[in-house]
Amino acid sequence: MRIEEDCIGKLAVDEDVLYGIHTTRALANFPISHERTDPLLFKSLIIIKKSAAQVNAAAGTLAVPKAKAIIAACNSLLMGEHNDALVAPAIQGSAGTSVNMNVNEVIANLASRHTTERVHPNDDVNQCQSTNDTYPTAGKMAALQALPPLQQALTFLVKSLLAKADEFADVVKVGRTQLQDAVPTTFGHTFQAYAHLFQRDQVRLTRAAEDLRVVNLGGTAIGTGLNASPYYREHIVRQVNRLIDLSLEQADDLVDATQNCDVLVAFSGAMKGLATDLSKFANDLRLLSSGPQAGLNELHLPAKQAGSSIMPGKVNPVIPEVVNQIAFQIIGQDVTISMAAEAGQLELNAFEPIIFRDLLQGERYLARGIDTLTTNCVTGLTVNQQQCADNVEHSAISATILSPYIGYEATMKLVKTSLEKHVAIPELLRRHHQLPDTLIAQLFSPAVMTNEEPVQKEAAGEKR
């Protein structure tokens, strides 16, 4: 054991660990779960520390040997060494101070091995910085780095949906509104509509992510830049961009950027919108594939596992089900993020740890959920074309197309008769000679019923 001291007092720290007293206290204070701070957030903080050492050395405020030692320590950590020393809990008090000090302590102890002078975690590694500007900057950097896999997953889903739209473009199905039969459509229309929905989600995520690039680095404690040299404030964001290409920008108003979390709420909102749309899509897949004997049975989803421990042969829509659950989680996390942003007071928000924890977890859950949805469900699903054709043939609501020819009330009576006698609408029309056979055939053709082709004038002119 070694004895270290802070403003609280002295504490024994395990001799074998690279972190120090601040991290040790955090581990004792926040035993909420076994979840550590996200690796991307740690990585981003280390990049900031390396950049700060380079800038401070150039400014002449940090001795070059110490700067080189800090840079070497950062490089070691960025290569994946000593990950076991980065242990700060994901959920913690003090606005991220435990994470920042965990990184400072580990870098300082590693750096001290490379120089004759002791490298201090605060005076040297944290020079010109505060948790209040490094931590939120690192959190935004992490969120930006977690975004490409999510965007790639969405692109894969959209392409797969468009492929299904082409594959089943001509398959007519009964439309449904409020879970009741409606006018016919095609699975081409259905899958294309889903693709366009998720394309809009991609746009919203991209727009929201642009605001994450604006950071308060250089603002130190409350945005005034106290204890940061003018050279540091001018060059730090530029240096971070040299080490990682995220196109970060220093906020015009560092005080505003330090205390307000609205851009994080907006990004969470875009994720919530995506989660909502994914859940709606998953619900539709489960409905359309329900059965196979007592449900809609219009879609066949790939069978992925046995669905019951008691009912032999039962197969459940497990992939849409897991996507629903991911969506519930993301929507709940959006509420947490909103409340955490709202609860920030005056010059700082103390609740950014839970915000970044939920944002980063949400990005990963969404990316993985969309990947499994596309790979294990969408790409392999098929349409039960016979079931769809039977439903359309016996759908009384398909009579809607007759209103311009025989009027709304006459059509309504025809629908009632069809439902009561279980006779298809076209057959009733033929029996009662209400329209010419050629017009009936054209009106109830797939292309006309789905409004993809107009009724030919010659046939329309034959109406009685």
Q: Decide the pairing of beta strands 2-5 and 10-13.
A: antiparallel
CB-based contacts of 268, cutoff 8 Å, min separation 6: 333, 334, 337, 338, 355, 358, 359, 362
Return the ∠ at Cα 414 (arms to 438 and 397), rounded to 5°. Answer: 85
DSSP-assigned letter for residue 378:
G
Residues 6+ apart with CB under 8 A from 241: 247, 248
Q: How far apart are CA 291 and CA 297, in angstroms?
A: 5
Paired strand residues for 181: 176
Are 251 and 214 in contact by the 8 Å Cβ rule? The answer is yes
Q: In this structure, which amino acid lies at residue 113? A: R
Angle between helix 131-167 and helix 39-59 axes, rounded to 10 deg: 130
Q: Are 107 and 77 in contact (CB under 8 A)?
A: yes
Catalytic position from the list 98, 112, 229, 308: 308
DSSP 49-68: HHHHHHHHHHHTSS-HHHHH
CA distance 108 to 96: 18
The alpha carbon of residue 284 and the mean position of all alpha carbons in its chain are separated, in whole angstroms, by 20
User: What span, in angstroms and rounded, lies between the C-alpha atoms of 22 and 247?
Assistant: 32
Alpha-carbon distances of 26 from 29, 31, 96, 108, 344, rounded to whole Å:
5, 8, 10, 18, 21
H/E stretch holding 173 reads: strand 172-177
Our answer to whether residue 289 is catalytic in this structure is no
Active site residues: 308
